[in-house]
Amino acid sequence: MNASDRNTIAEKLPLYVNGRLDAEEIRHVEMALANDPDLARDVEFLQALKDTLQQSGDEPPVEMDLARLKRDIHRETAESSPQSANTRRYWKPLAIAACLLLAIQTGFQLTTQSTDSNWVPLSGETASQQPRLQIAFTPSSTAEQIRESLGSRGLRIVDGPGALGLYTIQLPPSSDVDAIRQQLEQLPFIEEVSSP
């Protein structure tokens, strides 16, 4: 095998290791490997390199990053449509009023009708008792800021973002909700913090 042929084979070795050659090319490479121990050892090296490179342990957090992407899409869609900005302003107080009405109605029903304190959800699961907040990030907030602000306080995104860009955050049990709320409100990349 002359130097030019050897270079051509050497060039194909990464593709050989990856199984990206056709049958004819594989036959050529394997003939060369049988006659050239240095090339054969190079294949072993490339295989080791590939195996180790593919063992990366650093994985991005899927659901949190996906929630952030959805928030950005909602924002972009809202900004690109002047009508939707008006709609958003119109619906926000309406949505809050509807939530208040629902809360009052629920409170009224519970205090006037229900005397059974041993109710459980039909799903059989125990309803979460952990406190929650709703939060909106500024459009320029980064993944690092979001992760640091939530992770350092033991907070977790459990829902969102909704149409208004709000995430629902679950706090650790027995948290001081007001204190955490005040801390979050002071962060420059957090637009809004409210109770659900």
Site for other proteins, rule CB under 8 A: 10-11, 14-15, 17-20, 38, 41-42, 44-46, 48-56, 58-60, 62, 65-66, 68-70, 72-73, 76, 142-144
- Taking the least distance from each CB to other proteins, the nearer of 73 and 97 is 73
Q: Residue 103 Cβ, how far from other proteins at the closest point, in Å?
A: 29
- Taking the least distance from each CB to other proteins, the nearer of 66 and 179 is 66
Separation of alpha carbons 154 and 173, rounded Å = 10
Q: Which residues neighbour 172 within 8 Å (Cβ) at sequence distance 6 or greater?
A: 130, 154, 155
> What is the Cβ-side half-sphere exposure of residue 147, based on CA atoms within 13 angstroms?
10
Q: Residue 27 Cβ, how far from other proteins at the closest point, in Å?
A: 18
- Taking the least distance from each CB to other proteins, the nearer of 50 and 105 is 50
Q: Residue 98 Cβ, how far from other proteins at the closest point, in Å?
A: 23
DSSP assignment, residue 166? P
Q: Residue 125 Cβ, how far from other proteins at the closest point, in Å?
A: 24
Reading the block at residue 137, the tokens are: 């990030």
CA angle 106, 136, 138 (to 5 degrees): 165
Q: Residue 104 Cβ, how far from other proteins at the closest point, in Å?
A: 33
Separation of alpha carbons 61 and 176, rounded Å = 26
Phi–psi pair at 191, nearest 5 degrees: -85, -40
Q: Residue 47 Cβ, how far from other proteins at the closest point, in Å?
A: 8
- Identify how many contiguous H helices and E strands the chain contains and give both numbers: 7, 4
- Taking the least distance from each CB to other proteins, the nearer of 58 and 116 is 58
Separation of alpha carbons 36 and 34, rounded Å = 6
Separation of alpha carbons 167 and 136, rounded Å = 6
- Taking the least distance from each CB to other proteins, the nearer of 51 and 185 is 51
- Taking the least distance from each CB to other proteins, the nearer of 19 and 82 is 19
